[in-house]
Structure 1
């Protein structure tokens, strides 16, 4: 069932080539074609949980672009602001998965179609019925111009009273940590909800102790600072207090996309009025479920699946 709450995100999407076997990529001969990309994964996660979800992007006018378009439409995502462009091939990536579920991603996204998007392409009309805007650092890393586009999105969101969510989602294969920090700090004071991994925030701030994180959140007036810490669970700093919840115990197969799933889960819980601790439980559940399935978004669960998994319907179901 579709929620009354609307979510907006923008960013690149890719054809993801998943290896048929685990181990170093140079020894893999066969791959399975999938669809991926941080923002699209997030959009899929939100749509499966029942949120009305708009994804803004550009796709190459090629066969792979059509694959992504058909896939996203099939997930019920609003594609009215996704357009095909000539002369820019749809982005690709190849995944490497190790025996323990960890992995690497090799990107082939030079001349991505997303490069054709301009700040003036962001119109007020795109935000009708939107309650939260979600931006990630992956989008910012693709091209310096994207920071201007993100600022335009945030400007419209702020004017309309829409919550702004940001996940740094650092990709050091796309830019340096110095470039990333400069972009992030240009946005932090406009962010209401920051969803970041512990290792990421340590790279950004140089410190991940609670006191440093709380001081950072206060300085930039970040209403909710959420720290994702994998098998160690997650924690939230808001209104001068820390909340923490342990991770669910699962055997990870593929960790790619777990952070995107966590973000979708937390935002679903936030928009639906869950308490601070309930949000963390729900998001931990979504993130854990994603790791049990190979693929960028195949493990993103539907709402009833999350409720069954966390076995706390009496506490958090609305």
Structure 2
């Protein structure tokens, strides 16, 4: 008699999402006449990617009672994410940001991008512990195998910082809490970023880039970061496009190189990596396979325009996790898909 199917793992991602406006053409914003609209937000990006990997995922946040808010809620739901615990604010607007890409005619070099954020007094900036202290959000958290948050939330407002303290401090006998540093210097003018290190220390899994770790925590060395953060079960240090290193509590390191990728758009790759790594964690994969799945999801995001790529198929995941280290190193991802070398006979 076949064994009963296990239920999919449950994840809850908590944090801000915003509408992204991208000019139809590159160049200074004052010359832009047409814009394309997208959904953006680290936590909702992770939620969508987790759902695409077969994880039962909910996103909890606050949106304005406006057209942008309705668009975001529908877009994120269309990615397979449960949005039943999203609060609608009747007074505050949905936040947005505008992406500007230089063409060499203004003060921004050709090909370089910068973001202009309009999130002050937004609905998401009013997130607080009240968001998850009762109702459907609390029920979701109580049943979750994973809760995922990022340092962006801590930078939005004091009340949003309080929300993170609450989520990272609440009893969690069977729930893993992951924290992605996601350093955004522009959010921290006049505020103390040292809070980010204290939040990292409360998480079970900490994801951070080597460059942002150096800025916020004073070191990019995985060994030194483990000394600074002895409590989390796992630290995952991403080194740009080179590799990712997972360090457990004993100091043991697992290193997996990134895939060769034809980069179309770098935005969203970190969120995709987080989703892949966390999906592997929820399924109790070997650490090296968690890192591979993170790299694969990041590569799929890098190879498409926008914040999120199509998740790899189960067959692709199974094949790549089974590759030897040499075969993995020779795998390339482009806008056309994954080019894998023949399996050695």
TM-score normalised according to structure 2 size: 0.82
Residue 189 and residue 177 in structure 1: after superposition, are their counterparts in 2 closer, same or farther (change >3 A)?
farther
Query: Which of 2, 8, 14 is the matching residue for 2:12?
Result: 8
SS of the equivalent of 1:174 reads helix
Deviations 1:133-181 (A, max 9, x none): 111011111101112111212233x334311100110111111496222
Asked if the contact 2:99–2:116 (Cα under 8 Å) also holds between the matched residues in 1, the reply is yes
> Residue 312 in 1 paired to residue 320 in 2?
yes
Deviation at 1:266, TM superposition (A): 0.3
Deviation at 1:120, TM superposition (A): 2.9
> Residue 243 in 1 paired to residue 251 in 2?
no
Q: Which runs of 5+ in 1 are unaligned?
A: none
Partners of 1:286 and 1:97 in 2: how far apart? 25
Query: Which of 15, 22, 26 is the matching residue for 1:18?
Result: 22
Partners of 1:272 and 1:111 in 2: how far apart? 39
1:5-154 alignment, distance < 5 Å? 5-97=9-101, 103-122=113-132, 123=134, 124-154=138-168
Other-structure match for 2:271: 260
Partners of 1:222 and 1:4 in 2: how far apart? 25
Other-structure match for 1:293: 304
> Residue 279 in 1 paired to residue 290 in 2?
yes
**Segment drifting more, 135-144 vs 226-235:** 226-235
Count of aligned positions: 309
Q: Which has the higher contact order (CA 8 A, sep 6+)?
A: 1
Deviations 1:100-133 (A, max 9, x none): 9763221111211023333133234232431011
Query: Which of 181, 189, 195 is the matching residue for 2:201?
Result: 189
Asked if the contact 1:47–1:75 (Cα under 8 Å) also holds between the matched residues in 2, the reply is yes
- Give the number of the structure whose residues are more often helix, by fraction: 1
Other-structure match for 2:181: 168
Partners of 1:189 and 1:50 in 2: how far apart? 29
Deviations 1:179-210 (A, max 9, x none): 222x2133233111000011110111222124
Asked if the contact 1:103–1:254 (Cα under 8 Å) also holds between the matched residues in 2, the reply is no
Other-structure match for 1:205: 217
Deviation at 1:30, TM superposition (A): 2.7
Residue 251 and residue 111 in structure 1: after superposition, are their counterparts in 2 closer, same or farther (change >3 A)?
same
Deviations 1:63-120 (A, max 9, x none): 1111111112212211121021112111111113468976322111121102333313
Residue 230 and residue 25 in structure 1: after superposition, are their counterparts in 2 closer, same or farther (change >3 A)?
farther
Asked if the contact 1:4–1:51 (Cα under 8 Å) also holds between the matched residues in 2, the reply is yes
Cα RMSD of the aligned pairs, angstroms, is 2.5
**Segment drifting more, 79-88 vs 24-33:** 24-33
Query: Which of 190, 193, 196 is the matching residue for 1:180?
Result: 193
